[in-house]
Amino acid sequence: MAENKTKTKRKINKKYFFERGETKLRWMISANGKMYDHASAFNKFGYIDWRQNRSYEMGDIVYIYCTRPAQKVMFKTQVKQVNIAFHEVIDDKEFWLDKKEYEKSQSGQYVRLQLLEQVDTDHLSLEKLTLNGLKRYPQGPIKVKEGLASYMDKYFDDYYSEGFFHDEENLSIYEGHKRTIRINKYERSSIARAKCIEEKGIHCVVCDIDFQEVYGEVGEGFIHVHHIVPLHSIGKEYKVDYKSDLVPVCPNCHAMLHRKVEGRYLEINELKEIYRLRNGY
């Protein structure tokens, strides 16, 4: 009987629904980065087991709002399992920064949130979210209306601005491989992009273009990020290091790095030499 009531309630609250196959709810929850290292946990496991304090269902979408100092939505997840007992949750003690809170968490039921996308953009700041439909500060779980969800999805799905390229061959055989998918998302994520740029700047490492110098304000901060190691050659235990594995490149040079010459991809220095010779430097 309780199950029928839940289904009826979900049919009534149509303003929260999206017609993408089976109708599911969308939620927003808040995350305290001083208590738990969410980014590192997602990077290791691909999901987080979260205290279940609402009637989530399999397939529901959950956006995670990170509190101070970030104050923005940074993760988009999907409910993969509900009603998980504490003794069945993943061992994530290493990511708890507040050990007292970890001790408090060892009871009740949990929901498994699988990472779909992660970004770090001011477009998803509290100020911008408020301007686009967020009615109140997201302290507890809140339902997300269609307009706000569409706005957020636009920035989660902006693959081009984050510079994501597939390797040219054999990608299809890895599409079901969780570890490889996670690495792909790490390469294209704005979090990885921001860390790479913080370390290496926004000039293309091949042709040295700075888009702001060439195009002015419209080019400010624009650059792609390239994964030096071909993704199809990475083993399942591989962990991305943005300092050694990622480099800033312009879209043209990025595309050239993902083309094969005589059956192999060019190294950064090889493409730099080609550019130098062709342009008289």
What is the residue range of 74's domain?
2-157
- What pLDDT, on the 0 to 100 scale, is given for residue 18? 42
**Based on the domain organization, do 175 and 104 belong to the same domain?**
no
**Based on the domain organization, do 27 and 143 belong to the same domain?**
yes
The count of structural domains within the chain is 2
**Based on the domain organization, do 130 and 228 belong to the same domain?**
no
**Based on the domain organization, do 15 and 134 belong to the same domain?**
yes
CATH number at residue 90: 3.10.590.10
Domain boundary among 93, 122, 157: 157
> In the block, which residue shows the tokens 């040295």?
208
- What pLDDT, on the 0 to 100 scale, is given for residue 227? 84
Domain boundary among 130, 157, 184: 157
- What pLDDT, on the 0 to 100 scale, is given for residue 166? 41
> How confident is the prediction along the chain (281 residues), in pLDDT tens digits per residue?
334 444 444 443 444 444 344 558 999 999 998 899 998 888 788 899 999 988 999 999 999 999 988 899 999 999 999 999 999 999 999 999 999 999 999 999 999 999 988 887 888 999 999 999 999 888 889 999 999 999 998 887 654 344 444 443 333 333 333 333 333 444 455 666 777 888 899 999 999 999 999 999 888 888 888 888 765 565 555 566 778 888 999 989 988 988 888 888 899 999 999 999 999 76
**Based on the domain organization, do 180 and 77 belong to the same domain?**
no
Pick from 226, 224, 219: nearest CA to 251: 224
**Based on the domain organization, do 57 and 150 belong to the same domain?**
yes
**Based on the domain organization, do 123 and 188 belong to the same domain?**
no
Domain boundary among 157, 184, 213: 157
**Based on the domain organization, do 205 and 122 belong to the same domain?**
no
